[in-house]
Amino acid sequence: MNQTQWAELNDIPEVAGKPARSATSPASGAEEEKPKLPPPEAVGIGLLQTPVLNDPNELLKYRYLCRGGGMLLVGPAGVGKSTLQMQASLCWGIGREFFGIHPARPLKSLLIQSENDHGDLAEMRDGVLDGLAFSSEERAAACANLLVATEDMRTAVEFCDEVVEPLVALHKPDLLWIDPALAYLGGETNSQKDVGAFLRNGLNPIVHRHQCGVIILHHTNKPTSGAEKPKWNGSEFAYLGSGSAEWANWPRAVLGLRSIGGHDIFELHAGKRGGRLKWEEADGQRSYIKVIGHSTSRQYWREVPQSELDAAREKPDAEARFGRHKPTMEEFLKLFPTSFKKEPREALLSGDQVKVAFLKLGWHRDLYKGMYEQAEADGLLAIVRGEGRGGQLLRGLPEIVAAYTARREEAGSLMEQVPLKVCAKRRKPPKRR
């Protein structure tokens, strides 16, 4: 594919049946009265239909993003968000997964952007197609399902009314991409009023009317350093975007990109709605993070293998670059309660609970599994599977696990009505030579 296929922007027709200008439009005269819209229809909650398998409104599985919904892709300036966008749209254009995010079907994308010239875009396209070894048929299908329009003059209401609306009406994409947000906001990024008007009153009616999804690329705040550097964890990654909290409140889903290994290795965080992606760790535990990096040969992103990540952490400056340290065994064991009030389950922790604790304490999340294994081998922790089908693996001090197992065996007998008190003694880890 030597030629880039661009959207034809000439002679775009007027959109038939387009409603009156949104509330963000300035009045043409003091005497002009804004037309009143009818109120929304109220529907009985019992009449709502549960989504079915192969729901036509689903864009990204598993209802991670649906038609009429918005998503934010957030990352620092200059790290390759545009290449990440190109890779996602080309992969989804042929129904191919993108770092474990699966499209419901091959998706047609329309990108409206202002940062890259045609040469940059062509290089990204070729890097992805070559790096991911697209076949000739896949290249043709992927390129046919991605249209690009460059706009650098209109913002805010004019952008929504004169650029987004006619292009979406003409090309009918499944996904609308906007790169970057601040090129088209036309207001203060810290202002809830400006951001809300752009996202909720400008873009929302368009994607609802045309039944597509919208993904917006946005920058993070200027990074802080030292003691002020935030230790983000869990759903807090939804708030990585620069400016008003509306950037995190509006979208149905948020993906955040953060460097952890210099210029080459990054964490892709599913900061909002990430559980729907069904990402898993090697041990089967739920995950909200993918470790990805730049290719050394082509312009595309790749998943970083654990061996490469381990090697990066062995370098002398690894702790400073990765921003986390390895806890001692004594520190690790203090995560596990020695007693409980009513039920032994209160003093047992799941893998997710331990990972959250690691992040809050500034410990490296990938170390928890090795510390589990060491503590279990030394008899400092025990493991048990929780109740129910497919119950979680739970870990705790041996006396607590023994009490939990005994209470489960006694379930249904009079013994379950007897208060149970256990105070476990935390054992000291053995000295290692």
What does the pLDDT look like over 265-298, one tens digit per residue?
898 999 889 999 999 987 778 889 999 999 887 8
Q: Is the pLDDT of residue 200 over 50?
A: yes
Confidence of residue 228 (pLDDT cuts 50, 70, 90): very low
Name, in order, each residue with C-beta under 8 angstroms of 408's C-beta and a sequence gap of 6 or more: 387
Instruction: Please state, in angstroms and rounded to a whole number, the distance separating the CA atoms of residues 138 and 134.
Output: 6
Quick: pLDDT tens for 58-74: 999 999 999 999 999 99
Q: Is the pLDDT of residue 84 over 50?
A: yes
Residue 208 DSSP code: H
For position 356, what pLDDT does the model report?
Answer: 79
- Exposure string for 240-274, b = 16+ CB within 10 A, e = fewer: bbbbbebbbebbbbbbbbbbbbeeebbbbbbbbbb
Nearest residue to 373 via CA among 311, 249, 283: 283
Q: Is the pLDDT of residue 23 over 70?
A: no
Strands (E), 322-380: 349-350
Nearest residue to 116 via CA among 62, 188, 187, 183: 183
Q: Is the pLDDT of residue 301 over 80?
A: yes
For position 227, what pLDDT does the model report?
Answer: 37
Q: Are 323 and 364 in contact (CB under 8 A)?
A: no
pTM assigned to the model: 0.69
Confidence of residue 15 (pLDDT cuts 50, 70, 90): very low
For position 303, what pLDDT does the model report?
Answer: 92
For position 239, what pLDDT does the model report?
Answer: 64
CA torsion 188-272-88-305 (nearest 10°) is 120
Identify the structural domains of the chain with CATH numbers, from first to last: 53-313 (3.40.50.300), 329-417 (1.10.10.10)
Arithmetic mean of pLDDT, 228-232: 46
3-state helix, strand, coil in the chain (%, to 5): 35, 20, 45
Confidence of residue 235 (pLDDT cuts 50, 70, 90): low
CA torsion 391-394-398-402 (nearest 10°) is -20
